[in-house]
Amino acid sequence: MENILLIFICLLLGVALQRVKAFPTQGYKAFNQFIIYISLPALALYYIPKIALNSSLFYPLAVAWIGFLFSYLFFSILGKRLGWPRRLTGCLIIVAGLGNTSFVGFPIIQALYGEEGLKSAIIVDQPGSFVVMATLGIITATVYSGSKPDIREISFKIISFPPFVAFVLAALFNIMQLDFPNIFQLVFQKLGNTVTPIALVSVGLQLKIDFKSKHWRLLSLGLFFKLFLTPLLFFILYRIVFGATGIPIDVSIMEAAMAPMITGAILASNFGLKPKLSSMMIGIGIPVSFLSLLFWHWMLSVA
């Protein structure tokens, strides 16, 4: 219960800090960098060497890749039929196709499923969501903005991203059945625990709602796809078609139901793919996702 309370308190603190004049307007950027360079790598170095490698890891690993492909097929077909501008189609493919599996996902998964669930969430996020964003996401943004993809730049972004570097190192330790000395494990664990409060305060600092926007219809479609259609796909695929159960399966479906990824929205905006719509998908999507996640958690508990 205290973990759920922590989520809402930190989120509200972030929203409240928007009104504090002494707090830097772009302060959330420092929080985000701390998470990217310190908190997320620490989580990978602490948990991944301890994960038992088995076939069940395929389920969380596949979430981001299947989810993005589903988004691409859905919005590219719909965009052609409705005559959407390419930039609008590209925006919805990216923002609705990438989930907030770390900043929002980790705190919620940890609150609901504990450390065991967090292990699966890390698999969903690091070799999943980030790599998809840094490869398929960048390629999609480039194509739909009219630019040419730079393979060298994409490759450099992947291999130099701190959480990914930590993931590779931790995965090597796992394969060799090694782990870090206890004193380092304790440090990694404490640094990794900062993800929840810092990430949610950062999210709160970025929550902005424009009630006068003309994008509400498209916003509703994008969020309906991300918060309901995508997790429904994985619920049917994993639970009904494959008949799989257990924490990795439930975590995979819950992560598929997360709000749009902040980095994905930034990527779309940087390429000129409807920046206002991208921002609204985050600003509205994150608070709405808390309600839709309650629904999916209930579905998984009764199914």
Nearest-angstrom CA–CA distance, 194 and 297: 24
Q: Which stretches of the chain are DSSP H helices?
A: 2-17, 27-34, 40-47, 58-82, 86-97, 105-124, 131-132, 138-145, 151-159, 162-175, 182-192, 195-206, 216-224, 230-234, 247-256, 262-270, 275-302
Percentage of residues in the chain with pLDDT exceeding 90? 45
Question: Does 70 fall in a domain?
Answer: yes
264-297 residue pLDDT tens: 887 888 788 988 888 788 878 888 998 999 999 9
CB neighbour burial string for 246-259, b if at least 16 within 10 angstroms, e if fewer? ebbbbbbbbbbbbb
Q: Tokens at residue 184, please?
A: 């380092």
Domain hosting 153: range is 41-302
Query: What letter does residue 239 receive in the DSSP assignment?
Result: I
244 located within any domain: yes
The residue among 238, 230, 240 whose CA lies nearest residue 261 is 230
Side-chain half-sphere of 110: how many Cα atoms within 13 Å?
22
- Tell whether 5 is covered by a domain: no
Does a structural domain hold residue 23?
no
Give the span between the Cα atoms of 296 and 232, in whole angstroms.
Answer: 9
Q: Which CATH number characterizes residue 252's domain?
A: 1.20.1530
Interval 131-150: pLDDT, tens:
888 789 888 988 898 877 67
**pLDDT surpasses 80 at 183:** yes
Within-domain flag for 12: no
186 found inside a domain: yes
Which residues are 99's β-sheet partners? 260
Task: Give DSSP secondary structure letters for 14-35.
Answer: HHHHTT-TTS-TTHHHHHHHHI
pTM of the model: 0.81
- On whether residue 285 sits in a domain, the answer given is yes
Span 49-73, pLDDT tens digits? 988 777 778 999 999 999 999 999 9
Residue 10 located in a structural domain: no
Domains contained in the chain, number: 1
Percent of the chain with pLDDT strictly greater than 70: 97
